[in-house]
């Protein structure tokens, strides 16, 4: 019995986007993606930093005012990647929590305008997807493969260094005195 429970527990520990044959055959159709326009260009006052291990000196930020959760279940945000030399890359992105995918909608230009991206959805398991996307997925915006419920929930997760549900059952919580 213990072995069966262990096997069942480990079966739920798969990585995002990995599905069994049954799951692929019975997968619900993705809801139609919302039409959108990139948000206002990010400002330094609205940037919330999150940590990425082995980032070669890069620092990563999400503009908290751009964070949204669509009716289509996609978490969208503006990501700022700042090099050690101060050069910034700005992208408007989305995470599809249900399938473990990431997409770039637009690239920020130095003049504060946006350039539309032609890229589609990419699996978070793909080598081309950067570590920062996996961290945003697991630890902030898609804990336990479910999207956050609101932008405020995502901002709190960024401010607190991670979503409480991303830690699973081992998350510290209040102790009930008896």
pLDDT tens, 1-40? 555 444 444 444 445 556 677 766 666 555 556 667 899 9
What is the number of structural domains in the chain?
Answer: 1
Residue 27 falls within a domain, yes or no?
no
Query: CA 33 to CA 100: how far, in whole Å?
Result: 15
What per-residue confidence (pLDDT) applies to 60? 95
Residue 29 falls within a domain, yes or no?
no
* Tally of CB atoms within 10 A around 155: 18
Residue with tokens 């159709």: 29
Residue 9 falls within a domain, yes or no?
no
pLDDT tens, 101-127? 999 999 999 999 999 999 899 998 865
Asked if residue 55 has pLDDT above 60, the reply is: yes
pLDDT tens, 63-111? 999 999 999 999 999 999 999 999 999 999 999 999 999 999 999 999 9
What per-residue confidence (pLDDT) applies to 166? 83
Residue 134 falls within a domain, yes or no?
yes
Residue 111 falls within a domain, yes or no?
yes
8 Å CB contact between 148 and 154: yes
Residue 171 falls within a domain, yes or no?
no
Is 154 strand, coil or helix?
Answer: helix
What Cα–Cα distance (Å) separates residue 175 from each residue in 98, 117, 156, 166, 178? 32, 48, 22, 19, 9
- Domain coverage including residue 101: 35-164
Query: CA 32 to CA 113: how far, in whole Å?
Result: 27
User: Tell me, what CATH number does 59's domain have?
Assistant: 2.40.128
């Amino acid at each position: 019995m213990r072995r069966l429970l262990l096997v069942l527990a480990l079966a739920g520990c798969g990585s995002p986007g990995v599905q069994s044959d049954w799951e692929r055959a019975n997968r619900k159709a993705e809801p139609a993606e919302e039409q959108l326009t990139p948000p206002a260009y990010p400002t330094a006052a609205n940037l919330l930093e999150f940590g990425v291990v082995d980032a070669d000196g890069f620092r990563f930020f999400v503009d908290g005012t751009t964070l949204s959760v669509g009716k289509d279940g996609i978490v969208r945000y503006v990501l700022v990647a700042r090099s050690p030399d101060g050069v910034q890359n700005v992208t408007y992105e989305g995470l599809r929590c249900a399938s473990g995918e990431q997409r770039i909608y637009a690239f920020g230009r130095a003049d504060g305008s946006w350039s539309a991206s032609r890229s589609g959805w990419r699996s978070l398991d793909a080598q081309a997807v950067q570590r920062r996307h996996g961290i945003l997925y697991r630890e902030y915006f898609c804990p336990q493969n479910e999207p956050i419920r609101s932008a405020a929930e995502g901002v709190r997760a960024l401010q607190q260094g991670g979503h409480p549900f991303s830690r699973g059952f081992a998350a510290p919580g209040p102790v009930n005195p008896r």
